[in-house]
Amino acid sequence: MKHESVFSGFGGQGVLTAGMILCYAGLNEGKEVCWMPSYGPEMRGGTANCIAIVSDEKISSPIISKFDSVVAFNQPSVDKFESMVKPGGNLFYESTNVISPPTRTDIDIFPIPAANEANKLNNLKVLNLIMLGAFNGVTNLVDDESIVFGLKQVLPERYHNLIPLNKEAYLIGKRLVEDILSKVG
Amino acid sequence: MKHESVFSGFGGQGVLTAGMILCYAGLNEGKEVCWMPSYGPEMRGGTANCIAIVSDEKISSPIISKFDSVVAFNQPSVDKFESMVKPGGNLFYESTNVISPPTRTDIDIFPIPAANEANKLNNLKVLNLIMLGAFNGVTNLVDDESIVFGLKQVLPERYHNLIPLNKEAYLIGKRLVEDILSKVG
Amino acid sequence: MDEKDLKLNETEFLNEDICVAEYLVYKKPETLIDIDLHYCPGCGHGVVHRLLMEVIEEMNIVDKVIGVAPVGCSVFAYNYMDIDMQEAAHGRATAVATGIKRVLPDKLVFTYQGDGDLAAIGTAETIHACNRGENFLIVFINNAVYGMTSGQMAPTTLPGMVTTTTPFGRDTSITGFPLKISELVAQLPGVCYVTRTSVHTAGNVRRTKKAIQKAFEYQMQNKGTCLIEVLSNCPSNWKMTPLESNKFIEEEMIPFYPLGDIKVPKEEK
Amino acid sequence: MDEKDLKLNETEFLNEDICVAEYLVYKKPETLIDIDLHYCPGCGHGVVHRLLMEVIEEMNIVDKVIGVAPVGCSVFAYNYMDIDMQEAAHGRATAVATGIKRVLPDKLVFTYQGDGDLAAIGTAETIHACNRGENFLIVFINNAVYGMTSGQMAPTTLPGMVTTTTPFGRDTSITGFPLKISELVAQLPGVCYVTRTSVHTAGNVRRTKKAIQKAFEYQMQNKGTCLIEVLSNCPSNWKMTPLESNKFIEEEMIPFYPLGDIKVPKEEK
Amino acid sequence: MAKVKGDIIVDIEKCKGCELCVVACPQGAIALSDNINKKGYHYMIKIKDNCTGCENCALVCPDAVITVYRKSGKKKEKIATISNVQNNMTMEVN
Amino acid sequence: MAKVKGDIIVDIEKCKGCELCVVACPQGAIALSDNINKKGYHYMIKIKDNCTGCENCALVCPDAVITVYRKSGKKKEKIATISNVQNNMTMEVN
Amino acid sequence: MGEVRLMKGNEALAEAAIRAGCDAYFGYPITPQSEVLEYLSREAPQRTGMVVLQAESEIASINMIYGAAGAGKRAMTTSSSPGISLMQEGLSYIAAAELPCLLANINRGGPGLGTIQPAQSDYFQSVKGGGHGDYKLIVLAPSSVQEMADFVRLGFDLADKYRNPVMILSDGAIGQMMEKVELFEQQPKGGTFPKPWATTGKTKDRQRNIITSLHIDPKEMENINLRLQEKYHAIEENEVRYEVMKIDDAEFILTAYGLAARICQKVVELAREKNYKVGLIRPITLFPFPKKLFAEIVPRIKGILDVELNAGQMVEDVKLSVEGKVRVEFYGRMGGIIPTPEEILEHFEKIFIKGE
Amino acid sequence: MGEVRLMKGNEALAEAAIRAGCDAYFGYPITPQSEVLEYLSREAPQRTGMVVLQAESEIASINMIYGAAGAGKRAMTTSSSPGISLMQEGLSYIAAAELPCLLANINRGGPGLGTIQPAQSDYFQSVKGGGHGDYKLIVLAPSSVQEMADFVRLGFDLADKYRNPVMILSDGAIGQMMEKVELFEQQPKGGTFPKPWATTGKTKDRQRNIITSLHIDPKEMENINLRLQEKYHAIEENEVRYEVMKIDDAEFILTAYGLAARICQKVVELAREKNYKVGLIRPITLFPFPKKLFAEIVPRIKGILDVELNAGQMVEDVKLSVEGKVRVEFYGRMGGIIPTPEEILEHFEKIFIKGE
Ligand SMILES: Cc1ncc(C[n+]2csc(CCOP(=O)(O)OP(=O)(O)O)c2C)c(N)n1
Ligand SMILES: Cc1ncc(C[n+]2csc(CCOP(=O)(O)OP(=O)(O)O)c2C)c(N)n1
Ligand code: SF4
Ligand code: SF4
Ligand code: SF4
Ligand code: SF4
Ligand code: SF4
Ligand code: SF4
Ligand SMILES: [Mg+2]
Ligand SMILES: [Mg+2]
């Protein structure tokens, strides 16, 4: 099993962190993982993305052009990565921010109104965990406890009080896709 | 015809200039010439030398290890260059300053009391022209007028009044070897 | 919400009798190219870019000016300024400017440099260009941090200030004190004009503009090196909102780096 | 004249009852290795070398001292000083010294640098080592010229002075004014002691020695950077006899570079 | 509402919502919108009609997105065409 | 001749004839020899017997070739062996 | 098993420096490697008392290394391409003075200011000598975060063993990516190699120590050079390291180092799926280069495809190793572009299978 | 015939710079090339109004060149090995920004501070690229004082033609020796190539000009690189220069550049006296290297002896050119030692005649 994904959005939306939590979760389960950020000055108010690979075997190339899943937090990310989803793969997108949604028919597309849900939690920062929840709700790549493990690794000690909130957001994301899946399935 | 020589002595004795005058003299006669100084911090109170080549044909290697003539202004120069005179070549040395004179028998050796003669002219600076005179007196490599041409090139305009004195020194050097040669021959 | 709504919403107060060319009092200069600046929200670099272009436009010297961009957040300055520009290696802007000005002495040259660029890696070039009295303008953006590389200590970082390379605050016993490079170069005889300004309030923006204009005038008069140090913010790396960052300038930066002229040409003293 | 004569000649005044160990008052230090110095006749480098070694010997700190030689005429300093030494790249002696001192904070470190080395190519390293207050001694030999490379202009060359690269005299409008680097670094808070001395008379030699000793003491007390600027001669490249060169120091150098303390530790002011 | 003397035009797509203009405005005439632009920023909007055309907001704006008009006072001499304003703005001034 | 109080030993082979010691000597006790050493320099010699052992000459000598003795005054405490002096010097001090 | 962590390559390198007993780090920020200085500033001084100093420039850094290494300490700096170019004079001095120390170049796309994306365009500079004079660095090319850590320890050991500077030549992608890394145990600070030549203050029981690269007499300088060349020869004999993948039955060899090798591993997998007998040689030491391995394998193969993130640099060493005895082709992308495995495979097929 | 003078190599280079219409020289003293700055300080400003400025360092020099060349002027600097190492970052920037300019390296023995005697140990640095990224300098190797002068004009012309930095790679001996030189006529200042890209102040009739090497988007950066590589290819096609001596009937080829080639001319003479059929190939352009000439001559010869004043650098390009088809041997001296013709001949005999 190897799952190759990319998380993409505005700088500040927590896309890098989302991918990193996923990798820590994989690590927690003894898997091979690889996380590769885009970096540099395009971060200045621009977009950011990271590749996250979770695999049972050793990972060869960390550079990939086709993804099992794309998690897009904004319009430019949808525009950029839609074509890079492998046939049969998943595209999750933050639907509040995206005006022209993806159109491919050979992949599974999940619109996630994460910003709305985050607003309900009164904390826009957890948007990324909602997206991650949606992602893992579909892929079932890692266990929920591993996500919590990942959260602990990624959040500085002084913010560990926010773990429950983040977990809640994660579960909301999961539930959102379960709803979608149940409607579809 | 190609004549390969080296002029060697203390810094300040004018050895580089002597070689340079010779090269200018060669140039004046349409010959190929090459002048190569030793350079760098060994100049600080140390020794200096230059290779001077005068030739009818194009000069290939400017780096040579055997000389037709060696003109040694002090003891270290005799010590260093005696062995590098080609068999049948010439070794001129400033005899006032040299305590252990050269000993080879397969070359022509000319002790030149240039310092004494320079003292007589009340100008130690012309020692180099005396040595050059000795050298050219034996080798007849260039004409006397060409030496004067060389002097003009080498001396800054404001010292051109010293040309007669230098020429005199040169002729003294020439005469010194003529005396030696006449005694031998 | 669709696009129509948005436009309506934003313009309901618009006074059509005022917003006409006749009453225009401020618009950005044409020489400031109309594309998005890549700077973070609130970053002072944008203000200084605009001021430079305003002065150049108002003085009508576009065809005379050659700018030198540094390596730092403002490395792309040449993307925004509609003038001839060169992008210099990190720290070498004043050497590059020397090269330009010496061969084109009738042109007006300026460098635009950050504190890392000018006061760390470029220290030798800065000091020697100033010491030679190179007749150009150095615009020095002091934001007390390496912006572009994400917030490392700069020579101008304040004592105790947290940066990514001084995670426990700048310890002057290890890294030394902030370098007041303006005060240093002001002592060099070749330097004609050194002033420290800021752009965190409208008044200071006005003063900075005036300084830039003066400096170009001095350059036209061949008076020697001019250096304008602009205290600027780096909200991203200071980990502050733009508003907080301006407060920091007021409360922390200015007390350490007092505003005002450090050196003016003799006849004006 | 043979060798016998020579010896006799030189020793006829020798007083055998005075020249005995008991009455010895001055001999060169053991740490100054007994080989010929490669310097030109009369060159001040030799004096400063000797003074350093005298102080180190007298303070009994040979096993604590690490010296850093520059690139310049004194590049071979390590040939003469019987202490551990490193030879630094041109201009980088203070960076090298920083590397040494930071890993061996209990040792005593000094650099020995010429004006080209310290004030031209090494400007950034000089300023920043001083600004960090690196706790070592910088011995700065100002001979107003690049000695080793045969007499080019140095940053400290006097206005109008002829060098091989200012054949018509230093034109300050082209090359700038002499850089008073001691005055510059004296302003940096990390710097504890800056003084300017010379070695052209016996009195000045004594004062220079005292300064060196003080600087080592301050270093032992962790007071920060000490810099001793020694005005020195370069008869060869000034095209003067040693005596003329000392007169030049007196009459031209000192008026421009006044002798004396430029900065002393606070408590001693 | 105060007598109108000045007004501003904001290039909202270029605004980064830094709020510096907001605190610079002596009239309290402007604020950030609750909406965001394409870049994801809350952009600046006028919230009152009391602008005096003092230029402060434009001066501090790092992104040079504000154009200022003022009815009173002497007219500016050189007035050029404003072609910069993005075409998704309602107003065009020629 | 003045009462002898001091004296010097010069390592003549290392002397470079710079004359700095000569002008530094308050007694005028030293001068350059007409002879030259192996390096080609006129070396310094004593010309008078009025040395006071003031050390000036030794202090200014760039080549550290001068050793100074002084009879009057307090004795130096640590006196080490002088092994440096070249062996073509007449005197050896142990 | 050592501690396992998920780390960025740059962080792993920094953590490994602490654990390898590094005494001093001097560095100047530059993307994509600033994490090294940042991590060390945060972690190192408290843990081992290691000196961590942000220098005023790369030139200062490399010369601080010179000083610290000359004082017998384990010293290190890191940078990325333009910064490494500035260190060339210092590096030549360090190599000449035979000072053991460690450098890392987290290569980004050049030339000039270029881009901050990963590249391998500094191979020549690292391997042939970007500074002046005949000298060699030992060059290690990690291709994983694990190796970013491991090669720090190996690098310091090789440096000490041979009194030679060691360069870890990595790139922006490996520096920035996070992978699982098993960390080795804390080593004694300063390592265990005796350094009797170091300048630590001359004690009575020994002669003075001098660190220098100046030998004004050409004979002496030639002797120094001969000694250096001898050392480089010994390194070539003893320290060649490489990794191979499926070369036993290979008809074609892919060769690549670092990040490009990671990608080529995937290419080998893809190629084998298509039944092409493709193997991979990944030089780990770029100097010393695994010449013999290439020479040996030549008779058994039909062609070599060298893949690099540059315009063709290591390929010269491959060609020099095979001496014209087999076809050597090159595929490279530049300026920070990273080719995909599919793209490389396609190129491979084009030249070796479809025989264009 | 032009004016004939007896000049030092360095002086000839300086004089030629004035005559080639050089607009600006920026330099820092270093032995054995300080005469260039000294000569120009004395002569240039009065004669042509050329700017001559002693910079505070080599780093400043190279970046001043950048500025002046970017302003469309003929700009030049010179240095020797350690100083050239310091210029590597700047050179990479200049190559990337495609600024025409001229450099000379009067090579001295390295590595480190080394010696000031002549050497050829900076071949790799000049030809392979001592700076970061994939770039090439056009490298000219004079072997006489005459060529020290002539190559300045040629160098400026090539630089302007290709918008590429040109390096004259010479050495201390050629820089210091005096020979007869015939000087070309004074050329127009600044040369005659149009430079519409230069930053001279944006006039209304054109877009702004930008000199930069930054292209943060890797695709853009790759395109820049592809364009550069194309240019280098064109240079390889058009600008190869070399000199041959008695190669028509040669069984053995000596190959050497610069000073070593001068010595090898004598070796050929000596060898011919002994009836060995020896010829000489002297690459004049080191990049572009005369690969084709070597490839062509291979079938006719028995062996090549490459002679350099280093540990073996150009020999790699010779080997890459002949692709293993003929034996290539190397003879080198290092650290400023210059071999005599006799010594080289002896070595030649040992390996090729006596067949050791
Ligand atoms: C030789 C070199 N070293 C380091 C860097 C990395 N670098 C880019 S910008 C920068 C510092 C920027 O700080 P500053 O000059 O203060 O500008 P700011 O971004 O704060 O405006 C550094 C270190 C580089 N590009 N080149
Ligand atoms: C990088 C580099 N640039 C230039 C040189 C040449 N160089 C050697 S010494 C020197 C200047 C010496 O002058 P200074 O520092 O004043 O020392 P002095 O000889 O006068 O005592 C120069 C430029 C060098 N060795 N290395
Ligand atoms: S990082 Fe700082 S200096 Fe750079 S653009 Fe952002 S706020 Fe401005
Ligand atoms: S050149 Fe000058 S500084 Fe150097 S040794 Fe001679 S006199 Fe002293
Ligand atoms: S012009 Fe003045 S009053 Fe009007 S919005 Fe701007 S700051 Fe407020
Ligand atoms: S200052 Fe400019 S960018 Fe910032 S909120 Fe106001 S209009 Fe927007
Ligand atoms: S010790 Fe004093 S008195 Fe004696 S020779 Fe020396 S300077 Fe003269
Ligand atoms: S000062 Fe020293 S070197 Fe100079 S003349 Fe006197 S003894 Fe000789
Ligand atoms: Mg900054
Ligand atoms: Mg000096």
pLDDT tens-digit readout, C146-196: 999 999 999 999 999 999 999 999 999 999 999 999 999 999 999 999 999
**Is residue E30 lining ligand 6, measured as CB closer than 6 Å?**
no
Tell me, yes or no, if H85 comes closer than 8 A to chain G by beta carbon: yes
What is the CA(C43)–ligand 6 centre distance, in A?
10
Examine the pLDDT at E51 and tell me if it is beyond 50.
yes
Nearest-CB residue to C148 (from A41, A45, A46): A41
Number of domains in chain D: 1
Structurally, chain G folds into a number of domains equal to: 2
With touching defined as 3+ CB pairs under 8 A, do chains B and E touch? no
The one-character DSSP state at H198 is: S
pLDDT of residue C6: 38
The CATH code of the domain that includes G291 is 3.40.50.920
The whole-chain average pLDDT of chain C stands at: 94
For residue F56 and ligand 7, the question of a CB distance below 6 A is answered with yes
User: By mean pLDDT, which of B99-108, E84-93, G170-179, H54-63 is the weakest?
Assistant: E84-93
Task: For residue E88, give the nearest of C5, C40, C27, C12 by alpha carbon.
Answer: C5
Answer whether H281's CB lies under 8 Å from H293's CB. yes
Residue-level pLDDT at G129: 86
**HSE-CB for D181 with a 13 A CA cutoff:** 36
Question: How many residues make up chain C in this entry?
Answer: 269
- For D141, D161, F61, H56, the CA distances from D145, given in Å and listed in that order, are 10, 10, 21, 13
The residues, ordered by sequence, that sit 6+ positions from H273 with a Cβ below 8 Å of its Cβ are none
The pLDDT, as a whole number, for residue A46 is: 65
Q: At what angle do helices B163-184 and B144-154 cross, to 10 degrees?
A: 140
Structural domain boundaries, residue H308? 243-353
Between chain B and chain G, the number of residue pairs with CB atoms below 8 A apart is 3
CATH number, domain of D154, equals 3.40.50.970
Residues in chain B, total: 185
Is the CB of residue G59 below 6 angstroms from any atom belonging to ligand 1? no
- Residue type at G156? F
Q: Which atom of ligand 6 is nearest to the CA of E18?
A: 4
What is the residue with the minimal CA distance to atom 1 of ligand 8?
Answer: F61
In a domain, D35, yes or no: no
Query: Which residue from C minimizes the CA distance to E44?
Result: C10
Q: How confident is the model at residue B44 (pLDDT cuts 50, 70, 90)?
A: low
Residue E86 has what pLDDT? 37
Chain H residues touching residue C117 (CB < 8 angstroms)? none
Identify the residue whose C-alpha is closest to ligand 4 atom 8: D43
Measure the CA angle with vertex C162, ends C160 and C166; round to 5°: 90
Residues 113-142 of H with CB under 8 A from G: 113-117, 119, 121-122, 124-125, 128-135
> Are H50 and H133 in the same domain?
yes
Q: Are residues H54 and H112 in the same domain?
A: yes
Give the closest residue (by CA) to ligand 5 atom 8: E25
Q: Which of residues 2 through 41 in chain E touch C, CB cutoff 8 A?
A: 4-7, 9-10, 12, 14, 16-20, 23-24, 33, 35, 39, 41
Per residue in D200-257, pLDDT (tens digit) is 999 999 999 999 999 999 999 999 999 999 999 999 999 999 999 999 999 999 999 9
Question: Does ligand 5 come within 6 angstroms of the Cβ of E8?
Answer: yes
**What spacing in Å lies between the alpha carbon of F12 and ligand 8's midpoint?**
9
Task: Name the residue of G30, G56, G122 whose CB sits within 8 Å of the most ligand 1 atoms, as the mutation to test its pocket.
Answer: G30
User: Which of D64, D88, D103 minimises the CB distance to G24?
Assistant: D103
pLDDT recorded at residue B41: 55
3-class DSSP assignment, residue C54: helix
pLDDT in tens, A85-105: 999 999 999 998 888 999 999
Residue closest via CA to ligand 4's atom 2 equals D234
* Ligand 3 atom 7: residue of nearest CA: C234
Residue nearest to atom 20 of ligand 1 (CA): C147
A151: Cβ–Cβ under 8 A, 6 or more apart, which residues? Answer: A21, A129, A163, A166, A167
What letter does residue F26 receive in the DSSP assignment? Answer: T
ipTM for this prediction? 0.95
In this prediction, residues B67-89 reach a mean pLDDT of 95
Model confidence at D1, pLDDT cuts 50, 70, 90, reads very low
* Shortest alpha-carbon distance between residue C55 and chain D (Å): 28
- B12 CB near a chain D CB, below 8 Å? no
Return the CATH number of E5-88, one of 3.30.70.20, 2.60.40.10, 3.40.50.960, 3.30.1180.20.
3.30.70.20
Q: List chain H residues with pLDDT less than 70.
A: 356
The rounded Å distance from CA F16 to ligand 8 centre is 6
pLDDT tens per residue across span C215-267: 999 999 999 999 999 999 999 999 999 999 999 999 999 999 999 999 999 87
Query: Would H313 be classed as within a structural domain?
Result: yes
pLDDT at site C269: 54
Region A2-184: CATH code = 3.40.920.10
| pLDDT confidence bin for E77, thresholds 50/70/90 | very low
Q: Kindly give the number of the ligand 1 atom that is closest to the alpha carbon of C73.
A: 19
Residues in C closer than 8 angstroms to H89, CB to CB, are 89
H224 and H124 co-located in one domain: yes
Q: Mutation test of the interface with chain A: which of G80, G117, G180, G272, choosing the one with the most A Cβ atoms within 10 A? A: G180
In this complex, the chains that touch D, judged by 3 or more CB pairs closer than 8 A, are B, C, F, G, H
Task: Identify all chain C residues contacting A43, using CB atoms and an 8 Å cutoff.
Answer: 150
* CA nearest neighbour of H262 among H248, H241, H245: H245
Q: What is the mean pLDDT of chain E?
A: 79
Contacts of D28 in chain F (CB under 8 A): 58, 64-65, 67, 84
**Strand residues in C103-251 grouped as ranges (E):** 108-114, 137-142, 145-146, 152-153, 191-198, 225-231
Closest listed residue to residue B20, CA positions, set B4, B44, B36: B36
Which of these, G143, G61, G134, lies nearest to G102 by C-alpha position?
G61
Shortest-distance Cα residue to atom 7 of ligand 4: D234
Asked if G340 lies within 8 A of A64 by C-beta distance, the reply is yes
Query: What is the whole-number distance in angstroms between the Cα of residue B89 and the centre of ligand 2?
Result: 41
Q: Read off the tokens for A96.
A: 């509040």
Q: Ligand 8 test: best mutation among F38, F60, F61, F85, most atoms within 8 Å of CB?
A: F61
Distance C26 CA to ligand 5 centre (A): 11
Q: Are B35 and B82 in contact (CB under 8 A)?
A: no
Instruction: Answer yes or no: is pLDDT of E76 > 80.
Output: no
Is residue G203 situated within a structural domain?
Answer: no
Asked if residue D226 belongs to a domain, the reply is yes
Whether the pLDDT of residue C96 is over 50: the answer is yes
CA of C140 to the centre of ligand 1 (A): 13
Beta strands in G44-176 (DSSP E): 51-54, 75-79, 101-107, 138-140, 165-171
Q: Which of C87, C89, C165 sits opposite G54 (nearest CB)?
A: C165
CA of H63 to the centre of ligand 2 (A): 20
Q: Tell whether ligand 5 has an atom less than 6 A from the beta carbon of residue E20.
A: no
The two beta strands, A85-94 and A67-72, are parallel
pLDDT band for position G209 (cuts 50, 70, 90): very high
C-alpha C103/C-alpha H71 separation (Å) is: 8
Complete DSSP assignment for A164-183: HHHHHHHHHHHHHHHHHHHH
How far apart, in whole angstroms, are the C-alpha atoms of residue A150 and residue G6?
10
Please, what is the average pLDDT of chain G?
97
User: A35, G31: Cβ pair inside 8 Å?
Assistant: no
Chain H contact present for C40, CB below 8 A: no
- Token pair, residue C185, equals 């170069």
Contacts of H270 in chain B (CB under 8 A): none
Distance CA G137, CA H145 (A): 35
Q: Is residue C48 part of a domain?
A: yes
pLDDT in tens, H3-25: 999 999 999 999 999 999 999 99
G266 & G143 share domain: no
Ligand 9 centre and the CA of A17: distance in Å?
27
Burial label, H203 (beta-carbon count in 10 A; 0-12, 13-18, 19+): exposed
Residue D37 domain-assigned (yes or no): no
Confirm whether D208 is domain-assigned.
yes
Measured CA distances, H283 to E65, G134, H334 (Å): 60, 20, 20
Instruction: Provide the percentage of residues in chain D whose pLDDT is more than 90.
Output: 91
C100 within 8 A of H201, measured Cβ to Cβ: no
Give the structural domain span for D240.
Answer: 43-268
Q: Locate the domains of chain A by residue range.
A: 2-184
Query: For chain E, which residues make up each domain, given as ranges?
Result: 5-88
Verify that H137 and H279 share a domain, yes or no. no
Q: Please report which residue ranges of G172-331 form alpha helices under DSSP H.
A: 172-176, 218-238, 258-273, 291-297, 314-322
| C88/H67 Cβ within 8 A | yes
Question: What are the percentages of helix, strand and coil residues in chain A, rounded to 5?
Answer: 50, 25, 30
Burial category of D168 from C-beta neighbours within 10 Å (exposed 0-12, middle 13-18, buried 19 and up): exposed
Share of chain E above pLDDT 70, in %: 71
| Ligand 8 touching residue F64 (CB < 6 A) | no
**Is ligand 5 within 6 A of the CB of residue E55?**
yes
Residues G92 and G176 in one domain: yes
Evaluate the omega torsion of the peptide bond into residue H32 and state whether it is cis, within 30 degrees of 0: yes
Q: Is the distance from the beta carbon of residue E13 to the nearest atom of ligand 6 less than 6 Å? A: no
Q: What is the mean pLDDT of chain A?
A: 92
Q: What percent of chain D has pLDDT over 70?
A: 93
Contact status, residue A110 vs residue A138, Cβ threshold 8 Å: yes
Task: Nearest by CB to C41, from A41, A43, A45: name it.
Answer: A45
Angle at G242 between CA G236 and CA G245, to 5 degrees: 150
Question: Quick one: tokens of F60?
Answer: 């200014």
How is residue A134 annotated by DSSP?
Answer: H
